[in-house]
Chain A
Amino acid sequence: MSRDELLEFDEVVAAFDPVIGLEVHVELATLTKMFCACSTRFGAAPNSQVCPVCLGLPGSLPQVNGQAVESSIRIGLALGCSIATWCRFSRKNYFYPDMTKNYQVSQYDEPLCYDGSVEVDVDGELITVPIERAHMEEDAGKSVHVGSLTGRIEGAEYSLMDYNRGGVPLVEIVTKPVLGTGAGAPAVARAYVATLRDIVRALGVSDVRMEQGSLRCDANVSLMAKGTTTLGTRTETKNLNSLKSIEKAVRYEMCRQGAILAAGGRIKQETRHWHEDGSYTAAGRSKEEAEDYRYFPEPDLVPVAPSREWVEALRATIPAPPRERLAALREQWGFAEPEMRDVAAADAVDLVAATIAAGAAPQAARKWWMSELMRRANAAGLGLADLAITPAAVAQVQGLIDEGRLNDKVAREVIDAVLAGEGTPREIVDARGLAVILDTSALQAAVDAQIAGHPDVAERIRAGKTQAVGVLIGAVMKQLGGQADAASVRALILATLEG
């Protein structure tokens, strides 16, 4: 557990201006690795996807994956970056057992993409986050630590290395320092990463799944005393595995640094790790001196020099920014601002769009996802996209309602059956005999029976007190075991009494 002194958040932002910077690593969804033809498939047996190149065997040489370069340029363009006309790969030299060559092929002072910006919507307010660079590099392998209680590196007796991930293409996206966000800093950090994730996802170049590590984020935080202009000493927090943890970690670091500075102390420039279990950051094992990565141009590779034509052709493939797309969809679907914001916040835009594309009316699609399905997802601790139901199935349920074959109550039963894996909505309706009674003679018989059974109510309705019809509807529905469409029953009762 943390034993850090923390300053109240309100006091921090009263005395200091926070400065944040975010480094995001996106794993590209190419079929092969950055510098060799090994598969990048997730979840294979350890060390089953390695070759002389990514295992760093003597004499092996890297070959650049052209698709990875193209995806990197597209990310750069989507972030409004300039694309270098000529740039090189560099070697970043450091020893670590997850790096088979003990250098990482990366880019140093000549990034492929530079000087961009991202518009981030934070509770309706647009904030511009400036992008310093986006560059290409290779991922490292994964390690399992053995002999420590919690599988942590501290106290481990030894470690096991799996190099399947080694060499998978990464794009590292680095912001410039973001100033002036005040109390909004934690929310801005979170919203930036969420926006970046949406932009990259819309490009189709990465899964961008934080929980699988295909999007990883490090957050730099420092505080600047109000009224000064010199940046404070920053810390870099790693191991941020969700949007929520980014927000919480930035807030925590602000409060921790605020307490130190308020007490006249100094911030130590260090790497810290976010501990999700206790919601705190802790310093990594400190290094005796700053790392010296001894970057130099990678002599095994030739420069990348994207032509104007290539870049322009790729620019034509960049979809509208998610924010603009949202505005267009809102218009098209006729949603109110808050409705659209909720859909976006719930990561349901694509689900709703797909449901509409499968034939459902926009509002109906929205309601299914944002109420019934949201409730079930929350109860199961899942995201909407992880529910075992497809947008097509949701549209089919709505179609059955529109046909008058299901009422809302039965439809909910059908949804539960779909989630339980019993089949498509139509299959379930047929198998369970759940469809509402459409047979008019059967309905008429029930209506007649209940009118006869409630002569006083029938009389009141005939006298113009139509609100009393509810009693008869309830009675008919009860007789039919709920398998009728309430609106049809209502119409039939009124017609019978008038006739």
Chain B
Amino acid sequence: MECPVALTSTDVARLADLARIDLTVKELEQFAGELGVVLDAVAQVSAAARPDIVPTSHALNLTNVFRDDVVRPSMPLADVFAMAPAVEQDGDSTWFRVPRILGEAA
């Protein structure tokens, strides 16, 4: 299978956007170079992956691990919001407060 092995800083910028991380220009350039090296090194992986090989997503052979549909107590509200960067309260209602949303849900 063909793999492109050179990444430009534009590619890295697009990936950083997908991953929601601000990167500096210096980081963009540095990562582009470094990731190119990694991709070079992993090229042999793609080469070894013949079509007839069944991929393994998990070393375990377990299936059908289920939980019973029985309610257990949820967390106390104090614990829910203990670590929250911003909350808003109105009477008995408390929410996580987040900045205005630009994008669309999936």
Tell me the number of A-to-B contacts counted with CB atoms below 8 Å: 135
- Minimal Cβ-Cβ distance residue in A for B72: A37
Q: Is the CB of B72 within 8 A of A292?
A: no
Most buried by A among B18, B64, B69, B88: B69
Residues of B within 8 A of A299 (CB): 57-58
| Interface flags, B57-94, vs A, CB<8A=1, else 0 | 11010111111111110110100110000001000111
Q: Is the CB of A66 within 8 A of B66?
A: yes
From residue B59, how far is it (CB to closest CB) to chain A in Å? 10
A-B contacts, 6 of them at CB < 8 A, read A48-B77, A159-B97, A159-B101, A291-B106, A302-B64, A303-B63
Q: Which of A63, A144, A285, A294 contacts B103 (CB 8 A)?
A: A285
Residues of A within 8 A of B93 (CB): 45-46
Which A residues have a C-beta under 8 Å from some C-beta of B? 30-32, 37-39, 45-52, 55, 63-69, 86, 88, 92, 94-98, 102, 104, 140, 143-147, 153, 156-163, 271, 284-285, 287, 291-294, 296-297, 299, 301-306
Q: Is the CB of A49 within 8 A of B74?
A: yes
Count residues on chain B whose CB falls below 8 Å from chain A CBs: 37
Q: Is the CB of A48 within 8 A of B74?
A: yes
Q: Is the CB of B95 within 8 A of A160?
A: yes
Expressed in whole angstroms, the Cα–Cα distance for A46 and B89 within the complex equals 10
Q: Which of A30, A48, A161, A162 contacts B69 (CB 8 A)?
A: A30
Q: A65-B69, A161-B98 are in contact. Are A96 and B18 (CB under 8 A)?
A: no
Q: Is the CB of B65 within 8 A of A302?
A: yes
**B3 interface contact, C-beta 8 A:** no
Residues of A within 8 A of B67 (CB): 32, 37, 63-66
Q: A45-B93, A159-B100 are in contact. Are A52 and B75 (CB under 8 A)?
A: yes
Q: A47-B81, A161-B95, A302-B60 are in contact. Are A69 and B104 (CB under 8 A)?
A: no
Q: A159-B101, A285-B102 are in contact. Are A47 and B94 (CB under 8 A)?
A: yes
Expressed in whole angstroms, the Cα–Cα distance for A259 and B97 within the complex equals 43
From residue A286, how far is it (CB to closest CB) to chain B in Å? 9
Residues of A within 8 A of B94 (CB): 45-47
Q: Is the CB of B65 within 8 A of A64?
A: yes
Expressed in whole angstroms, the Cα–Cα distance for A104 and B105 within the complex equals 11
From residue B101, how far is it (CB to closest CB) to chain A in Å? 5
Q: Is the CB of B100 within 8 A of A156?
A: yes
- Minimal Cβ-Cβ distance residue in B for A162: B95
Q: Is the CB of A140 within 8 A of B18?
A: no
Residues of A within 8 A of B104 (CB): 271, 284-285, 287
Q: Is the CB of B105 within 8 A of A96?
A: yes
From residue B97, how far is it (CB to closest CB) to chain A in Å? 6
Closest 7 CB pairs of A and B: A66-B66, A160-B95, A67-B69, A37-B72, A297-B57, A305-B63, A63-B67
